[in-house]
Amino acid sequence: MRIKVLLTGFDPFNCAKFNPSQEIIKAISNRSIDGVELFTALLPTIYHQSVSELQAHLVEISPDVVISIGQAEGRSAISLESVAVNLDDASIADNAGEQRTGLPIFANGPATYLSTLPIYEIVDAIKSKGIPAEVSESAGAFVCNHLFYSLQHQLAESNIKSGFIHVPLLPEQLVDFPSQPTMSLQEMVEAIVVAIEVSVRS
């Protein structure tokens, strides 16, 4: 019996032409991973719509593992996010034009949720492939964190492993983000495959 894994990414935002998480989803969607039934979904970079679409996929698929990925400019490593915070506080608007500053995601929700992915094992396994990886304690306060917190909130009482991974920019994005660190799509795809494999095994 294969383990069901749902992998989600985001579309480009803030007038950018690319989002590496979208390109990873495209590249990995037809990959065969031993013991895994892989489902992928591209979510809009919109606060509430991203969550509602993710919830629909959760109901439809009933996955055993959920890994969401997103772009984090300025980072040079695959970042396994350890904690989601109950806060929307971004300097830019989402793709629907909504800008949220200093607002809780759930008014009566806890301050934080922890990832339930085996993040330290994943980091070690990715690094063993020669790909930079790290555990991060900040998923930001934009749509990525909003989705991460909402995901952990929904699955808090379940046995489903879930969490969020931030990835660096692609080299093609240097036009939009001059002088920022980048990583090849091939390395990112390999890292996410490793993350899936470790999550399924653990």
Catalytic residue among 157, 166, 172, 197: 166
Active site residue 81: yes
Q: Tokens for 3?
A: 């383990």
Catalytic residue among 48, 73, 121, 144: 144
Q: Count of residues for the chain?
A: 202
Catalytic residue among 60, 81, 157, 190: 81
Of the candidates 2, 137, 115, the residue with the CA atom closest to the CA atom of residue 68: 115
Give the angle subtended at the CA of 24 by the CAs of 22 and 26, to the nearest 5°. 70
Yes or no: say if 57 and 6 are a contact pair by the CB < 8 Å rule. yes
CA 172, 177, 178, 182 torsion-angle sign: negative
Q: Tokens for 200?
A: 């399924």
Q: Which helix (H) or strand (E) holds 39?
A: strand 36-43
CA atoms within 13 A of residue 160's CA, in its CB half-sphere:
22
Greatest extent of the chain over all pairs of C-alpha atoms, in Å = 46
Active site residue 153: no
Q: Which helix (H) or strand (E) holds 122?
A: helix 119-127
Active site residue 144: yes
Residues catalogued as catalytic: 81, 144, 166
